[in-house]
Amino acid sequence: MRLLKIGLVLISVLLLLIVITDARPEYESPISLTASDINNGKYMFYAAGCGSCHQSLQSQQRLSGGDELKTPFGILVTPNISPSVTHGIGSWSDMDFLNAVKTGVSPDRKHYFPGFPYARYAGLTDQDVVDIKTYIFSLEPVNSFAGQHRLLFPFNLRRLISLWKAANFNFSRFLADSTQSALFNRGHYLVEHVAHCGECHTPRNILLGLDQDNPFGGSVGFDGVNVPALVPEFLQAMGENAVVNGVLVNAQRLNGKPITQNKMLEVIKTTRLMTKNDRRAIYTYLTERNE
Ligand code: HEC
Ligand code: HEC
């Protein structure tokens, strides 16, 4: 009798764990948007750095995947996100794509590892995300497998990601602040969600989420690279031009030295393609945000 009770308790705990750690998509029915704008999709694809992570350094194909990201638990290999039906995302619906990019849930209802910065992309508008998909689907499919993650047990268990999500992930839509200028709000959207500058410039807490008490406080990446702090007063003192053109186009640090770290150079490949207005928006947000 006693064994039966213990067994029942164990089974209930197990069932409870399965329910708690389950991945539930946010979008459950087909969505309807205005017609998709492929030019906006291309712009957002670059601004969001999708190609920076999802290209293999060998093949230089933007969507092939195969880039390796170091984490404390092993290596994540970025997947092929080309419209290949066999190796990429060619069979995905808009809904599948929204769930992946904004909520970190796969079409077969598994959690994605947060090396895919969906916690930031959660704030993207549905329109921007679907436009990105339209752009991706206009590109050539790449018919090769990117490779498998090499993570240590138990960190390879996707259900565990639900714990990370519980602590660090909040699905909330981006809301413009009506007391701020349009430029500030655009900058907020670009910095926090699209270009996700904080993924590198904000230190991590012990749960490996971004430390919201110290935004842009500078950090050391998992690969050991030092990432400088972005202090509003300092950026302001250096002046708009030093950031808008110096850093974000000419790859010059604020002290005038060239930027040498590949991580930021990859970002600059994308900020260079932004309109000047968007780069000014980034500067405005970084210098005027509340601390
Ligand atoms: C910092 C690197 C990084 C950036 C930037 C990034 N991704 Fe990813 N992405 C990843 C990693 C790593 C995975 C694998 C996650 C996993 O297996 O759990 C992934 C997975 C995906 C998947 C799931 C593919 C599949 O086969 O299940 C899609 C779709 C995707 N990314 C699209 C995008 C788009 C669109 C963007 C730009 C808006 C983007 N990614 C930006 C790293 C990145
Ligand atoms: C993938 C990681 C990563 C992301 C994302 C990233 N940065 Fe950086 N950033 C770096 C690193 C690393 C450096 C230092 C580069 C060097 O010293 O060669 C840097 C340097 C800088 C500097 C120069 C600071 C100084 O003191 O000279 C500025 C400004 C900056 N980044 C702004 C941004 C903005 C704005 C974004 C978002 C659009 C961004 N970064 C996104 C990693 C990143």
Ligand showing the shortest atom-to-Cα distance for residue 202: 2
79 CA from centroid of ligand 2 (Å): 25
Mean pLDDT calculated for residue range 203-224: 94
**pLDDT tens digits, 128-165:** 999 999 999 999 999 999 999 999 999 999 999 999 99
The pLDDT of residue 59 is 62
Q: How confident is residue 251, by pLDDT bands cut at 50, 70 and 90?
A: very high
Burial of 4 (0-12, 13-18, 19+ CB in 10 A): exposed
C-alpha distances (whole Å) from 150 to each of 77, 94, 130, 145 are: 8, 29, 30, 15
Mean pLDDT calculated for residue range 29-38: 82
**pLDDT tens digits, 184-204:** 999 999 999 999 999 999 999
Q: How confident is residue 5, by pLDDT bands cut at 50, 70 and 90?
A: confident
Q: Provide CATH 1.10.760 ranges for the chain.
A: 34-168
Q: Do residues 83 and 164 lie in contact, with contact meaning Cβ atoms separated by under 8 Å? A: no
Atom of ligand 1 at shortest distance to CA of 44? 38
264 CA from centroid of ligand 2 (Å): 5
Q: Is the pLDDT of residue 181 over 70?
A: yes
Question: Which tokens sit at 29?
Answer: 């029915």
264 lines ligand 2 (CB under 6 A): yes
Residue 125 to residue 120: CA distance in whole angstroms: 12
Determine which residue's CA is closest to atom 43 belonging to ligand 1. Answer: 116
Determine which residue's CA is closest to atom 43 belonging to ligand 2. Answer: 264
- The predicted model scores a pTM of 0.94
Atom of ligand 1 at shortest distance to CA of 106? 27
Fold entry, domain 34-168: Cytochrome Bc1 Complex; Chain D, domain 2 (1.10.760)
Q: How confident is residue 58, by pLDDT bands cut at 50, 70 and 90?
A: low
Q: Is the pLDDT of residue 56 over 80?
A: no
Q: How confident is residue 60, by pLDDT bands cut at 50, 70 and 90?
A: low
Q: Do residues 202 and 210 lie in contact, with contact meaning Cβ atoms separated by under 8 Å? A: yes
Mean pLDDT calculated for residue range 217-225: 95
Q: How confident is residue 291, by pLDDT bands cut at 50, 70 and 90?
A: low
Q: Is the pLDDT of residue 13 over 80?
A: no
Q: How confident is residue 34, by pLDDT bands cut at 50, 70 and 90?
A: confident
User: What is the residue-averaged pLDDT of the chain?
Assistant: 93
Q: How confident is residue 15, by pLDDT bands cut at 50, 70 and 90?
A: confident
Q: Is the pLDDT of residue 31 over 80?
A: no
Q: Is the pLDDT of residue 94 over 80?
A: yes
253 CA from centroid of ligand 2 (Å): 9
Q: How confident is residue 57, by pLDDT bands cut at 50, 70 and 90?
A: low
Q: Return the number of other C-beta atoms located less than 10 Å from residue 175's C-beta.
A: 9
Q: Is the pLDDT of residue 62 over 90?
A: no
